[in-house]
Amino acid sequence: MSGGVLAVLEQRDGALRKVSHEVVTGARRLGDALGGTVDALVLAAGAVGGGADQLGAFGADKVITLTHAAFARYAPEGYSRAIAVVFAASATGKDLAPRVAARLGVPLAQDVTDVGVESGAVTVVRPVYAGKALLKLKLAASPALVSLRPNVFTPVQRPKAGVAQSAAVDVPGGGGGGGGRVTVREIKAAPAGALDVAEAPIIVSGGRGLKEPANFKILEELAGAFGGAAAVGASRAVVDAGWRPHADQVGQTGKTVSPTLYIAVGISGAIQHLAGMRTSKVIVAINKDKDAPIFKVADYGIVGDLFDVVPKLTDEIRKLHG
């Protein structure tokens, strides 16, 4: 692996997760800049589907699958024992990458939005101070550990196929159990197809302007019109009121998101909300108050009553996807 880059991928129940293609894309960018190869590492219980066969096309020279019965789901203690070098992303990555960094005694730059190479050293850019500044860092160590913010690295296809390798591995401590100190007893799965706001490419977020919890139905309909690409988010005001689960909250004390399209509906745009979504590619605001601060960060705004505007928007989007 000299001069190479290792992309640590994520799968769930044998299907590759969307962030994995993003991680390969980010790793490829570094690999090209360093003039090195990109190996992609997947830990799984068996064969991996969900586009794993196309990883070569996204820039992986070699795809290595390490199999162990305990790897069906992410199991932190087993994983960090099996992995040597890492480029990770996401919620799993936020758990795994610091462990690997501590084990290897190397630095980690988390949640980065850009990667590059300067004078042979890996550099990254990371949003800080609630997105109000960007920190550029150099990783003066090898391996350099980096985790990429979801949705920032758009996967790019390349006309090249990679090589796939698979090997069963043995993990001291049993993989899933970590010597019995931490065990996953149960996984309460979200409804099939439900997207997590942290990773959805489109987010339709609602605030107090929705008036009551039942009205979120109109946002769910709008999200549905995008054909499985959109999740429904929420402001803290409505989460605190118990209208929506905390997992959906966007902002300083909620999730940090960077979707391609963020539609803020009946959200005033308080600084703590902006902290979680200002790095979205395109922001649309629908608010009846033309002076609402959300319009200051929105690329496109409609001033009006959301109960008129949203159903119309849902119709128009349905026509597009019709």
Ligand X SMILES: Cc1cc2nc3c(=O)[nH]c(=O)nc-3n(C[C@H](O)[C@H](O)[C@H](O)COP(=O)(O)OP(=O)(O)OC[C@H]3O[C@@H](n4cnc5c(N)ncnc54)[C@H](O)[C@@H]3O)c2cc1C
Partner that binds at residue 167, options ligand X, other proteins, none, CB closer than 5 to 8 Å by kind: none
Output 110 or 235, the one with its CB closest to ligand X.
235
Partner that binds at residue 156, options other proteins, ligand X, none, CB closer than 5 to 8 Å by kind: none
Please give the DSSP secondary-structure letter assigned to residue 49.
B
Sign of the CA dihedral running 151, 49, 53, 77:
positive
Residue 206 as a binder of other proteins (CB under 8 A): the answer is no
Output 58 or 226, the one with its CB closest to other proteins.
226
- In terms of Cβ atoms closer than 10 Å to its own Cβ (0-12, 13-18, 19+), residue 270 is middle
The residues, any chain, with a CB within 8 Å of residue 182's CB and separated by 6 or more, are 76, 77
Smallest CA-to-CA distance from 144 within 114, 108, 113, 120 is with: 108
Output 64 or 288, the one with its CB closest to other proteins.
288
Sole binder of other proteins in the list 4, 31, 127, 233 (CB under 8 A): 127
Q: How many residues bind other proteins (CB under 8 A)?
A: 94
Smallest CA-to-CA distance from 308 within 268, 272, 265 is with: 265
Sign of the CA dihedral running 66, 67, 73, 74:
negative
Identify the three-state secondary structure at position 253: coil
Output 158 or 246, the one with its CB closest to ligand X.
246
**Which tokens belong to 250?**
């966007």
Map the footprint of ligand X across residues 251-280, applying CB under 6 A: 251-254, 266-268, 270, 272-273, 276
Residue 247 as a binder of ligand X (CB under 6 A): the answer is no
Backbone angles phi, psi at 242, to 5 degrees: 80, 15
Q: How far is the C-alpha of 237 from the C-alpha of 273, rounded, in Å?
A: 10
Partner that binds at residue 208, options ligand X, other proteins, none, CB closer than 5 to 8 Å by kind: ligand X
Output 116 or 293, the one with its CB closest to ligand X.
293
Residue 301 as a binder of ligand X (CB under 6 A): the answer is no
Map the footprint of ligand X across residues 88-147, applying CB under 6 A: none
Smallest CA-to-CA distance from 263 within 280, 247, 246 is with: 280
**Which tokens belong to 214?**
């039942």
Shortest separation between residue 132's beta carbon and other proteins, angstroms: 4
Tokens 């990883």 -> residue:
55
Output 38 or 250, the one with its CB closest to ligand X.
250
Sole binder of other proteins in the list 1, 84, 194, 241 (CB under 8 A): 194
With contacts defined by CB under 6 A, name the span among 45-53, 88-96, 140-148, 233-241 that binds ligand X: 233-241
Residue 249 as a binder of ligand X (CB under 6 A): the answer is yes
Quickly count: other Cβ atoms within 10 Å of residue 269's Cβ: 23
Sign of the CA dihedral running 83, 7, 277, 274:
positive
Residue 183 as a binder of ligand X (CB under 6 A): the answer is no
Partner that binds at residue 289, options other proteins, ligand X, none, CB closer than 5 to 8 Å by kind: ligand X
Identify the three-state secondary structure at position 149: coil
Map the footprint of other proteins across residues 224-283, applying CB under 8 A: 239, 246-247, 249, 252-254, 260-261, 271-272, 275, 278-279, 281-283
Residues that bind ligand X (CB under 6 A): 207-209, 235-238, 249-254, 266-268, 270, 272-273, 276, 287-289, 292, 305-307
